[in-house]
C-alpha cells in the first residue's frame, strides 16, 4: 500500500512515513489534508474574541530564540501589579473579550501569590470569562523556584480560577535541539508530564511546536507523534498550534527559516498525523494573516483570535502587537471562501457568520 493510500484510508503513520509526507508535492499534500479537514469542519474557520496579556518580561530562564525577555536584548523591564492586570482585563471584557490568554516570563522577583492572586481577582470580578494561563514552562518554573510539586501548582491554578492551559514552552521536544535552544528550561518529558497531569484533573490544554529555526523535519514529526501518544491516553489537547519562529531581536543564528510552502506542508502534515487532536490552529500572529488564511486549505481550521494586544511574538518581528479588529477578521475569512465561526475557548460554537 502506498503512503497516499494509507492517508486516504485513515491509517496511522509512523515516524518514517511522517517524514516521507514532506517529500510529496505541496498540492498533493494539501489535498490529502484538506479532505480530512472538510470531513470534520466543512468550510468553517474558527476564531475567538480574546485578549492576550503578558504581565511581566523579567525572566530567570535564557532562551536563544526569545526577544521578549528583559534579561536579554530588551532592557525595558516591567512587571504589572494585580490592579494593572485587572484594569486591562476589565477594559477587554467590556469590549467583548470572552477569553484572557495570560502568559508571563519566569519572574524570580515575584512569588506564587503574584501569579495566583491575579487569576483569583479576575475570577472574582468576572465569573464567566475563560482564563487560559500558565504554560508548562511557567508551571515548571514555580516548581523549581518555590519547591512546589507539579500537582500543587496545578491545583492552585484550578483553585484560583484558571480554566485551561496554553501550549507554550513546548518548542521542539528533541532534547539535543532543546539543549541548544533553551537549556535549563522545562524538559520535553516534563512538559508532557505537566499537561498529562492537567488533563487527568479534568482540564484541557493546547499544544504548540516552534519550528523554522535549527530543527529538522524529523524533529517536527517526532514532536507531533509524542503529542499523539499523550492524546491517546488523555484526550485533553484542544488544539495543536505550529508556531512559525520569529527571527528578529534574538540570539539564534544560521536558522533554516521556512518558506511559505514549508509552513503549509507542516500544517498539512499535522492534520494527517494528529488524527486524535481535532483542531489545527494557524496562529496568524506567527504565520502572518495571509498565510494563516491559505493554511485553512491545507488542514488548519482555526486562526486563534482578535488578540487585541500581544507582546511576545511582536517583540521578535510579528505584526501582532495591536491585534485585529473583529469586522476585519470576519471579512478576511469570508473573502478567503470560508465561513467564520466564533468559538469559545473549548471549541463550542457561539456564532456562525454566514455569507451575505
Residue 82: CB atoms within 10 Å: 16
Burial class of 254 by CB neighbour count within 10 A (0 to 12, 13 to 18, 19+): exposed
pTM of this structure: 0.89
pLDDT for res 120: 97
What count of Cα atoms within 13 Å lies in the side-chain half-sphere of residue 204?
16
Residue 351 grid cell? 456564532
pLDDT for res 9: 97
CATH superfamily of 24-341: Aldolase class I (3.20.20.70)
- Contact between residue 124 and residue 86 where contact means Cβ atoms under 8 Å apart: no
d(CA 267, CA 37): 11
3-state secondary structure of 174: coil
Residue 132 DSSP code: E
Residue 301 grid cell? 481550521
- Contact between residue 112 and residue 93 where contact means Cβ atoms under 8 Å apart: no
Burial class of 218 by CB neighbour count within 10 A (0 to 12, 13 to 18, 19+): middle
- Interaxial angle between packed helices 150-159 and 136-146, expressed in degrees from 0 to 180 and rounded to the nearest 10: 110
What count of Cα atoms within 13 Å lies in the side-chain half-sphere of residue 103?
20
Which parts of the chain register pLDDT below 50? 64-65, 67-68, 249, 309-321
Burial class of 120 by CB neighbour count within 10 A (0 to 12, 13 to 18, 19+): middle
d(CA 117, CA 121): 6
Mind listing the pLDDT tens digit for each residue in 58-117? Answer: 665 565 445 445 555 556 787 899 999 999 999 999 988 999 999 887 667 788 998 999
- Contact between residue 320 and residue 284 where contact means Cβ atoms under 8 Å apart: yes
Residue 289 grid cell? 494573516
- Contact between residue 265 and residue 294 where contact means Cβ atoms under 8 Å apart: no
3-state secondary structure of 149: coil
pLDDT for res 216: 94
Amino acid at each position: 500500500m502506498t503512503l497516499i493510500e494509507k492517508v486516504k484510508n485513515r491509517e496511522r503513520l509512523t515516524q518514517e512515513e511522517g517524514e516521507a509526507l514532506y517529500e510529496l508535492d505541496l498540492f498533493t499534500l494539501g489535498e490529502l489534508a484538506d479532505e480530512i479537514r472538510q470531513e470534520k469542519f466543512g468550510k468553517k474557520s474558527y476564531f475567538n474574541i480574546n485578549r492576550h496579556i503578558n504581565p511581566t518580561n523579567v525572566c530567570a530562564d535564557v532562551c536563544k530564540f526569545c526577544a521578549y525577555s528583559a534579561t536579554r536584548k530588551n532592557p525595558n523591564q516591567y512587571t504589572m501589579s494585580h490592579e494593572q492586570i485587572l484594569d486591562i482585563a476589565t477594559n477587554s471584557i467590556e469590549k467583548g473579550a470572552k477569553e484572557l490568554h495570560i502568559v508571563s516570563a519566569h519572574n524570580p522577583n515575584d512569588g506564587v501569590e503574584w501569579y495566583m492572586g491575579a487569576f483569583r481577582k479576575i475570577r472574582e470580578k468576572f465569573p464567566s470569562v475563560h482564563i487560559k494561563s500558565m504554560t508548562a514552562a511557567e508551571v515548571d518554573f514555580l516548581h523549581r523556584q518555590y519547591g512546589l510539586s507539579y500537582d500543587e501548582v496545578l491545583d492552585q491554578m484550578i483553585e484560583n480560577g484558571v480554566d485551561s492551559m496554553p501550549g507554550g514552552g513546548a518548542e521542539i521536544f528533541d532534547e539535543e535541539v532543546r539543549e541548544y535552544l533553551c537549556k535549563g528550561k522545562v524538559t520535553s518529558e516534563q512538559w508532557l508530564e505537566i499537561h498529562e497531569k492537567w488533563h487527568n484533573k479534568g482540564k484541557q490544554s493546547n499544544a504548540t511546536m516552534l519550528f523554522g529555526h535549527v530543527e529538522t523535519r524529523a524533529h517536527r514529526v517526532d514532536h507531533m507523534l509524542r503529542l499523539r501518544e499523550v492524546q491517546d491516553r488523555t484526550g485533553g489537547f484542544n488544539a495543536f498550534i505550529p508556531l512559525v519562529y520569529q527571527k528578529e531581536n534574538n540570539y539564534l543564528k544560521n536558522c533554516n527559516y521556512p518558506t511559505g510552502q514549508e509552513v503549509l506542508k507542516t500544517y498539512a502534515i499535522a492534520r494527517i498525523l494528529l488524527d486524535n487532536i481535532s483542531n489545527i490552529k494557524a496562529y496568524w500572529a506567527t504565520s502572518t494573516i495571509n498565510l494563516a488564511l491559505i493554511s485553512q486549505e491545507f488542514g488548519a481550521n482555526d486562526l486563534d483570535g482578535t488578540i487585541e494586544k500581544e507582546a511576545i511574538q511582536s517583540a521578535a518581528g510579528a505584526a501582532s502587537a495591536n491585534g485585529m479588529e473583529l469586522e476585519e477578521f470576519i471579512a478576511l475569512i469570508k473573502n478567503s471562501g470560508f465561513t467564520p465561526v466564533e468559538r469559545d475557548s473549548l471549541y463550542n460554537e457561539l456564532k456562525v457568520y454566514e455569507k451575505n
